[in-house]
Amino acid sequence: MNKPLILVVEDDMPIRNLITTTLKAHGYRSITSLNGETAILEASSHNPDIILLDLGLPDIDGVEVIHRVRSWSNMPIIVISARSEDSDKIKALDAGADDYLTKPFSVEELLARLRVTQRRLSALQIGAVNTESVFVNGKLKVDFAAGCACLDGQELHLTPSEYKLLCLLCKNVGKVLTHTFITQQIWGRSWENDVASLRVFMATLRKKLEKDPDAPQYIQTHIGVGYRMMKVE
């Protein structure tokens, strides 16, 4: 089996060298781009498994790169950027990024984000999130065809909105979903009161799903940004 190919889009040489050296040491292949236009060409010609993308590029903004890649591909994109404001994260994630890592970052965190993205990609490839299949994550089991969910063999009694929310998270396991994306998918709109409603539904869903809602195992909160369904072994 070929080693995963990572496209590293980073114009800062020390950071680029750190990333590529780390990737090589942990069994990844990599190609590099120093600007956005070249990155788009490399992505289309080499079809990498994952893109690591800086936002502050010398020619076009990284968010524009995400938009253009998303016009023809769903390849995973992990943003690595010094921009740490929630608004920057939301803009990149809403454009189609799968994850967001803020500089400075640790090598261990980068590798962990890559592993999460690979697991999500593998799940998609084997059809684990197909709407006609059964999704299993740890002790959680969601039967999309039957329209029911079970935890540790016991059926969860969910409201229609809670079930829709759970299915959306399951179908995007490992991916950060923004408040805007979730509310648009659940209610077809994204108003301020919809985000407040989302927090309420998420709290009630967690009470039914998590043994300890204060230390969630399945649903991770990204404060000010959104939520992510974690992969449970």
Query: What's the per-residue H, E or C state across the chain?
Result: CCCCEEEEECCCHHHHHHHHHHHHHCCCEEEEECCHHHHHHHHHHHCCCEEEECCCCCCCCHHHHHHHHHCCCCCCEEEEECCCCHHHHHHHHHHCCCEEEECCCCHHHHHHHHHHHHHHHHHHHCCCCCCCCEEEECCEEEECCCCEEEECCEECCCCHHHHHHHHHHHHCCCCEEEHHHHHHHHHCCCCHHHHHHHHHHHHHHHHHHCCCCCCCCCEEEECCCEEEECCCC
What's the pLDDT at 226? Answer: 92
CB-based burial of residue 57 (10 Å sphere; 0-12 exposed, 13-18 middle, 19+ buried)?
Answer: buried
- Does 213 have pLDDT greater than 80? no
Q: Rounded to a whole number, what is the distance in angstroms from the first to the last CA of the chain?
A: 23
Highest mean predicted confidence (pLDDT) among 49-53, 129-133, 173-177, 184-188: 49-53
Radius of gyration of the chain (CA): 18
What's the pLDDT at 95? Answer: 87
Q: Quote the CA–CA distance of 47 and 40 in Å, as a whole number.
A: 10
pLDDT band of 69, cuts 50, 70, 90: very high
pLDDT 10s digits, 85-132: 888 888 898 888 888 998 988 999 999 889 888 877 766 555 544 545
What's the pLDDT at 38? Answer: 96
Q: Quote the CA–CA distance of 116 and 105 in Å, as a whole number.
A: 16
